[in-house]
Structure 1
Amino acid sequence: MASASVSADTALAVDIVWSPHPGELREQRLSLPSGSTLARALADSGWFEAARLPSLTAGIWGRVKPLDTLLREGDRVEVYRPLTVDPKEARRQRYRATGRRIVTRHRPLGRKA
């Protein structure tokens, strides 16, 4: 857990979020000393064993970052689960189930201009 002895002038507040299972979301606000890394935030969350840290995929504000990345005030640390299905294959399966094309971009379905 975050250390209570961190003084207010050298502390930085970060949010850490993790979804261990579909439909479940864990959120936690941590107060860390300035100069802390992504690995430190993951360790201080209390959610992961130290031996598991190197195998985690984590990022800041939706971008995957190495565990030695320095954190800044207000960062949102995110821990990512591995994909269970390739995104292209998931779209194919949804199309087969509904029979409708799923448009993800704002462009007409007709011919290319």
Structure 2
Amino acid sequence: MLHISVCYASANGEFLRPLTVAPGTTIGQAIEMSGVLEAYPDINLTTQPVGIYAKKKTLDTVLRERNRIEIYRPLVADPKESRRKRAARREGAPGRTGS
């Protein structure tokens, strides 16, 4: 048997469930067994990526001992646009000079 965990973080709370699964179990099967889809019905596995320790994987990826399955939420803001806005604020701050 393999010891794994399934985690998901939403704006309303966190889900972290340790599971014991049979060898050959896939990410998709473990997510189904965990109960996260019942706890967070807004999860859509066809559009939301999943991964193991911050590395994106497919739902048919076979699990290994101590894997932590993560279900990722869509980004609220575009990281590139956020960086541009921060840089623009820094450039306009008093007492700073450009190089």
Normalised to the residue count of structure 2, the TM-score between the two structures is: 0.75
CA contact (8 A) 1:14 1:30 kept: yes
User: What's the CA shift for 1:93?
Assistant: 2.4
More strand by share: 2
CA contact (8 A) 1:43 1:53 kept: no
Sequence identity percentage: 35
Superposition misfits of 4+ residues, deviation over 4 angstroms: none
User: Over the residues paired in the alignment, what is the CA RMSD in angstroms?
Assistant: 2.4
CA contact (8 A) 1:42 1:53 kept: no
What residue in structure 2 maps to residue 61 of structure 1?
Answer: 53
Normalised to the residue count of structure 1, the TM-score between the two structures is: 0.67
- Identify which range, 62-71 or 81-90, moves more after superposition: 81-90
Q: Which amino acid aligns with 1:74?
A: R
Q: Which amino acid aligns with 2:57?
A: K
Consecutive unaligned residues of structure 1, counting only runs of 5 or more, are 1-10, 101-109
What residue in structure 2 maps to residue 19 of structure 1?
Answer: 9
1:76-95 equivalent positions in 2, closer than 5 A: 76-95=68-87
Distance change >3 Å, CA 53–CA 88, structure 1 → 2: closer
* Residue 20 (structure 2) pairs with residue 31 (structure 1): yes
CA contact (8 A) 2:27 2:61 kept: yes
User: What's the CA shift for 1:20?
Assistant: 1.4
User: What's the CA shift for 1:84?
Assistant: 1.7
Aligned length, in residue pairs: 89
